[in-house]
Amino acid sequence: MFRLESGSFSHGQDIPEKHTADGAATSPPLQWTGAPTTTKSLALAMTDPDAIPTATPAIYAHWVLYDIPPTVTSLMERAGSDAGLPPGIRQLPNTAVTLGIKEWPGYFPPWPPDASHRYTFTLYALAEDTLPIKENASFIQFMRAVLPLTISSATLVGLYGPARRRMPAALQLKAFSRILLRRLACRI
């Protein structure tokens, strides 16, 4: 059975503060077992399905990795923050970066303003060595490439919120204005 786990929290439990915007904002350690023997590469997505739909894009991607070699079976704490990723792994910009919040370009920590949110880590076992996407692909483009190549997947859900630290008004305004402009452009 394909399993994804963290040494910091269990499935359905609270994510420790050190992995959030209220703490050190470090990515949690992750480890996995039971990937299918036919796996040629892996991809990881951390999303927030509870993000406020009127204030964020349809899917809020906090962390997106791909081209993870099948020989890699873990990511150490801080891998998406400042410790660096194992060789060969590629990282896409998270949703916050695309909205102009560039403080955390890799792993964007949980920072829910309103209530407790679910943070879903999904690891995909893929049938190809490399994912055919550009290095600045959107999360939707990532998923369009991943889903047809998926052999199996494993999921880990952590909870956090509401955040104690409020997002600065300037960052909120910048992100909201970009979302608004994108939505208006879609209607034209």
Q: What is the pLDDT along the chain (188 residues), one digit of tens a residue?
A: 999 999 999 999 999 999 999 999 999 999 999 999 999 999 999 999 998 765 556 689 999 999 999 999 999 999 997 678 999 999 999 988 888 888 888 999 999 988 999 999 999 999 999 999 999 999 999 999 999 999 999 999 999 999 998 877 666 666 666 655 555 555 55
Total of domains in the chain:
1
pLDDT given at position 55: 55
User: Which CATH number do you get for residue 69?
Assistant: 3.90.280.10
pTM here is: 0.90
Which pLDDT does position 177 carry in this prediction? 62
pLDDT at 182: 55
Look at residue 52 in the predicted model and tell me its pLDDT. 74
What pLDDT score does 98 carry? 82
3-state SS record for the chain: CCEEECCCCCCCEECCHHHCCCCCCCCCCEEEECCCCCCCEEEEEEEECCCCCCCCCCCEEEEEEEEECCCCCEECCCCCCCCCCCCCCEEECCHHHHCCCCCCCCCCCCCCCCCCEEEEEEEEEECCCCCCCCCCCCHHHHHHHHHHHEEEEEEEEEEECCCCCCCCHHHHHHHHHHHHHHHHHHHC
**Domain membership of residue 42 as a residue range:** 3-187
